Amino acid sequence: MHIMFVAALGLLQASSPDAFDVQADLQGRYAEISQATLQFATEQDVDDFHEVMYTPDWAVTDVAGQRHEWAQLRAEALQALTAPRLDAMVQSIQTLSLTASGATTVVNITTVRTEIDAEGRYGAKGATHRLNETTSYRDTWVRVGDGWKLKAREQLHLHKVQVDKPDYEP
């Protein structure tokens, strides 16, 4: 009887996803998103990447509760192609919960960029500063085949800006 229970428990565990493995998979996805974002060069890059990493109905809800559909987000991504490049982008999972259709994460996204402060907001006018911006999001991931796609993102707070700090603090 004990052997049958252990065997049944093993089958149950084998069929349900392991939170550690899911977190490792999703952290890898976040790294892919960050690196791709830093390297996009064309409109086609943006579209191809969206097709692979996001569901067709992917949307972002901002901190004010406004929902932004892919069409609007795509336009912003295309505008970013001509903007000064980020120096770095890191996305770090803070929490993960498994759901029936996938997983929900809370992730901190930190971007680093160098800016010439023409207005003197951070010190002397014309000085160069490194800005670290961190924002937390709640992301909904769904299982698609043997992979993952990002379905929804909800901004949890206004971004926090640090001036001339280390590039990344988890």
Q: What gap in Å lies between CA 57 and CA 62, rounded to an integer?
A: 16
User: How do residues 22-40 score in pLDDT, each as one tens digit?
Assistant: 999 999 999 999 999 999 9
Would you state the structure tokens that stand for residue 57, as one six-digit string?
């109905």
Lowest-pLDDT choice from 57-66, 96-105, 115-124, 137-146: 115-124
Nearest-10 crossing angle of helices 43-53, 19-39 = 170
User: How do residues 103-132 score in pLDDT, each as one tens digit?
Assistant: 999 999 999 999 888 888 888 888 899 989
Q: What gap in Å lies between CA 148 and CA 121, rounded to an integer?
A: 41
Token pair 């951070």 in the structure block, residue? 122
Mean pLDDT for the chain overall: 88
Q: Are 160 and 134 in contact (CB under 8 A)?
A: yes
pTM above 0.85, yes or no: no
CATH T-level topology, domain 17-163: Nuclear Transport Factor 2; Chain: A, (3.10.450)
Q: What is the pLDDT of residue 166?
A: 66
Would you state the structure tokens that stand for residue 119, as one six-digit string?
């207005």
